[in-house]
Amino acid sequence: MALLTAVSPHAGAVTLRADAPAPAASWTQNGGRIDIFRIGPDHRLYERTWTGTGGGWGDWAGGFDTPLGGLAGTPTATWTADGSRLDVFVTGAADGHLYQKTWAAPLGWSGWADLGGSLYSAPSASWTRNGERLDIFAVGTDHQLQQKFWTPGAGWSAWGSYAPPAGGLSGAPSATWTAGGTRLDVFATGATDNHLYQKAWTPSGGWTTWADQGGALGSAPSASWTRNGDRIDIFGVGTDHRLYQKYWTSTVGWSDWVSGFGVPVGGLSGAPSTTWTEGGSRLDVFATGATDGRLYEKTMTDPSSWTGWTDMG
| C-alpha count within 13 angstroms, C-beta hemisphere, residue 310 | 11
Specify the pLDDT at position 2: 29
Asked whether 303 and 252 are in contact (CB, 8 A), the reply is no
Instruction: Give the CA diameter of the chain.
Output: 52
Round to whole Å and give the CA distance between 35 and 77: 8
Alpha helices in the chain (DSSP H): none
Q: For the CA atoms of 18, 234, 241, 308, what is the dihedral angle to 10 degrees?
A: -70
Round to whole Å and give the CA distance between 35 and 275: 10
* Segment 239-288, tens digit of pLDDT: 999 999 999 998 999 999 999 888 898 899 989 999 988 767 889 999 99
* Segment 68-102, tens digit of pLDDT: 899 998 999 999 877 889 999 999 999 999 999 99
Indicate the pLDDT class of residue 12, thresholds 50, 70 and 90.
very low
Specify the pLDDT at position 9: 34
- Look at phi and psi of residue 298 and say left if phi exceeds 0, alpha if psi is from -120 to 50, else beta: beta
Peptide bond just before 21 cis, omega within 30 deg: no
Neighbours of 88 (CB within 10 A): 25
Q: Supply φ then ψ for residue 273, to 5 degrees.
A: -135, 130
Asked whether 22 and 273 are in contact (CB, 8 A), the reply is yes
Round to whole Å and give the CA distance between 158 and 147: 8
Neighbours of 313 (CB within 10 A): 16
Indicate the pLDDT class of residue 124, thresholds 50, 70 and 90.
very high
Asked whether 210 and 193 are in contact (CB, 8 A), the reply is no
Round to whole Å and give the CA distance between 70 and 88: 15
Q: Is the dihedral of CA 4, 34, 20, 61 positive or negative?
A: positive
Helix, strand and coil in the chain, % to nearest 5: 0, 50, 45
Round to whole Å and give the CA distance between 302 and 261: 15
Specify the pLDDT at position 204: 93
Indicate if the pLDDT at residue 3 is higher than 70.
Answer: no
Average per-residue pLDDT for the chain: 87
Specify the pLDDT at position 4: 31
